[in-house]
Amino acid sequence: MFDTLSDRLGGIFDKLKRRATLSAADVDAAMREIRVALLEADVALPVVKDFVARVREEAMGQEVIRSITPGQMVVKIVHDALVETLGSDATELDLRAVPPVPILMVGLQGSGKTTTSGKIALRLKEKERKKVLLASLDVYRPAAQEQLAQLAAQAGVASLPVIVGEMPVAIARRAMDVGRKEGYDVVILDTAGRLHIDAGLMDEVAKVRDVAKPHETLLVVDAMTGQDAVTLAREFNEKVGITGIVLTRIDGDARGGGALSMRAVTGRPIKFLGAGEKLDKLEVFHPDRIAGRILGMGDVVSLVEKAAENFQADEAEKLAKKMMSGKFDLDDLLGQLRQLRKMGDIKGLMGMLPGVAKMKKQMASANLDDNLLKRQEAILLSMTPKERHAPDLIKASRKKRIAAGSGTSVQEVNKVLKQYEQMAQMMKQMKKLGKKGGLPPGFGGGMPPAGGGMPPGFGGGFPPGGFKF
């Protein structure tokens, strides 16, 4: 059900012959898939329609860059358009106003306003050395005011003392008074969750706005929100006026298509992402990340760039030569491991790769993580240069020494050696193939399965364009 866009497009473009430009038929087929992918990611339908129309126009007749497949080309166009729509720069809170600067938090019930208020308070206190006052205007949900008071204590900021029976507009007024009198830089007003069609409560929050004159009004929305995101964002924007959006619970596995919808209908930037229940789990918004997530394929463009950057051309050449000659030793394996680690935390990296859902599962079963890479590197480093060059030397006693030196076990040492053997075998086969058919054909697909410990397809540290959608 949740096929990634890259998988979908792969199916179409596999059937196509390589051409110099994208034909109308190619583009139409791709657009149908993109429509479905976006809808399954919860992008609102009117937004999907506009978006697809725009991308279609851009893709039509585009020259396909030589090094990539038509599928990759379309994905890149879609990705770029997504990033553009989402807003290309991280926008911080605007606090340039006479203190105390009021920030108003609004949203549906259960969207995460109170926790986000606490997070922003902590962030402003820690990063900007601001004196922050938190005030809860939620007099409806049981214990909501108590919740904010506790979060304030956790964040080490002040919260407005609660007066039982006081109503939201009066609380807002008092909060601003206290803010002025006691020299606060920022006053964060957390409101009760409300439905955008609840006329009484929407009217109330409009009155709060008129009293507090917030400099920022943040709409807090759950990343799991479906098609309704477009309606609620428009209504909140029309009735209260928002200056930014916070997308919460992106630590879940929702695609977060609502971000695109809300951004498209309100034109307001997404300012923060909530990524966990703890108060320090607040991130500035990166359009790349959300674009990749919506497409279910990670951040393709930066992956290609990152791979290219990290894998220096000369090194690639050296390795290719080694491969062709069939001389691949443990030093080369070490070099590869380091390349992999340079590209960052392996799991993050996997998240950036297209079509990795399956691979991720394999990896989980093979227990492949960054830690494993580190251990493998330690094992290789505990060998002498001579051993690395001639792995046949490594017998039982040496294995014991290596295991002790690297703080691992003989078993693990064996695993690395086994893995090396598999790879060397592969190289030899490639060499044969290479002799018949020119260069190693997309060695991306030809590596041993993940059980060996190296993620399949990573063998040569991807030649740009060498992985397939």
Partner 1 sequence: MSGQTQDSSGWLARLRAGLARSSARLGQGIGALITRRTLDDAALEELEDLLITADIGVTTSARLVAALREARFGRDVTADEVRAALAEEIEAILDPVAKPLVFDPARKPHVVLVVGVNGAGKTTTIGKIAKQLKDQGLGVVLAAGDTFRAAAVEQLQVWGQRTGCPVMARETGADAAGVAFDALKLAAARKDDVLLIDTAGRLHNRTELMAELEKISRVLKKLVPDAPHSTLLVLDATTGQNAHQQVDIFSRMVHVDGLAMTKLDGTAKGGVVVSLAEKYKIPVHYAGVGESAEDLRPFSARDYARGLLGLPPEG
Ligand X SMILES: Nc1nc2c(ncn2[C@@H]2O[C@H](COP(=O)(O)OP(=O)(O)OP(=O)(O)O)[C@@H](O)[C@H]2O)c(=O)[nH]1
Quote the CA–CA distance of 447 and 375 in Å, as a whole number.
21
Closest CA to 440 of 430, 449, 426: 430
Of 242 and 379, nearer to partner 1 (C-beta) is 242
**Site size for ligand X, by CB under 6 A?**
5
Quote the CA–CA distance of 466 and 68 in Å, as a whole number.
8
36 lies in the binding site for partner 1 (CB under 8 A):
yes
Of 195 and 199, nearer to ligand X (C-beta) is 195
Binding ligand X (rule: CB under 6 A), the pick from 76, 131, 141, 347 is 141
252 lies in the binding site for partner 1 (CB under 8 A):
yes
3-state DSSP assignment of residue 29? helix
Residue 23 amino acid letter: S
Quote the CA–CA distance of 467 and 375 in Å, as a whole number.
27
231 lies in the binding site for partner 1 (CB under 8 A):
yes
3-state DSSP assignment of residue 463? coil
Binding ligand X (rule: CB under 6 A), the pick from 10, 168, 193, 244 is 193
Quote the CA–CA distance of 447 and 441 in Å, as a whole number.
12
162 lies in the binding site for partner 1 (CB under 8 A):
no
Quote the CA–CA distance of 164 and 100 in Å, as a whole number.
24
Binding partner 1 (rule: CB under 8 A), the pick from 59, 108, 291, 349 is 108
- Of partner 1, ligand X, none, which one does residue 7 interact with (CB within 5 to 8 Å by kind)? none
Min CB(209)–ligand X separation in Å: 20
Tell me the residue length of the chain. Answer: 469
155 lies in the binding site for partner 1 (CB under 8 A):
no
156 lies in the binding site for ligand X (CB under 6 A):
no
All residues at 6 or more sequence positions from 13 whose CB lies less than 8 Å from its CB, including other chains: 26, 30, 69, 70, 71, 74, 469
Binding ligand X (rule: CB under 6 A), the pick from 88, 109, 154, 384 is 109
Min CB(215)–ligand X separation in Å: 26
- As a whole number of Å, the end-to-end CA separation of the chain is 18
Burial tier of 300 (Cβ tally within 10 Å: 0-12, 13-18, 19+)? buried
142 lies in the binding site for partner 1 (CB under 8 A):
yes
Quote the CA–CA distance of 78 and 170 in Å, as a whole number.
48
- Of partner 1, ligand X, none, which one does residue 98 interact with (CB within 5 to 8 Å by kind)? none
Residues 377-396 that bind partner 1 (CB under 8 A): none
325 lies in the binding site for ligand X (CB under 6 A):
no
Quote the CA–CA distance of 33 and 133 in Å, as a whole number.
48
**Site pattern 296..335 for partner 1 (x: CB under 8 A):** ----------------------------------------
CB 37 within 8 A of CB 5: yes
Q: Tell me if the bond preceding 391 is cis, omega within 30° of 0.
A: no
Quote the CA–CA distance of 124 and 99 in Å, as a whole number.
14
Binding ligand X (rule: CB under 6 A), the pick from 19, 50, 54, 110 is 110
46 lies in the binding site for partner 1 (CB under 8 A):
yes
Min CB(356)–partner 1 separation in Å: 16
Sign for the CA dihedral angle at 246, 250, 254, 256 comes to: positive
195 lies in the binding site for ligand X (CB under 6 A):
yes
Pick the stretch among 14-22, 61-69, 244-252, 402-410 that binds partner 1 (CB under 8 A): 244-252
- Of ligand X, partner 1, none, which one does residue 249 interact with (CB within 5 to 8 Å by kind)? partner 1
174 lies in the binding site for ligand X (CB under 6 A):
no
Of 144 and 427, nearer to ligand X (C-beta) is 144
Write the DSSP assignment of 111-125 as a string of letters: SSHHHHHHHHHHHHH
Of 141 and 327, nearer to ligand X (C-beta) is 141
Residue 427 vs residues 179, 325, 332: alpha-carbon distances, Å: 69, 9, 12
Residues binding ligand X (CB under 6 A): 109-110, 141, 193, 195
Residues binding partner 1 (CB under 8 A): 1-2, 36, 39-42, 44-46, 49, 108-112, 140-144, 146-147, 149-151, 154, 195-197, 222, 224-228, 230-232, 249, 251-255, 257-258, 277
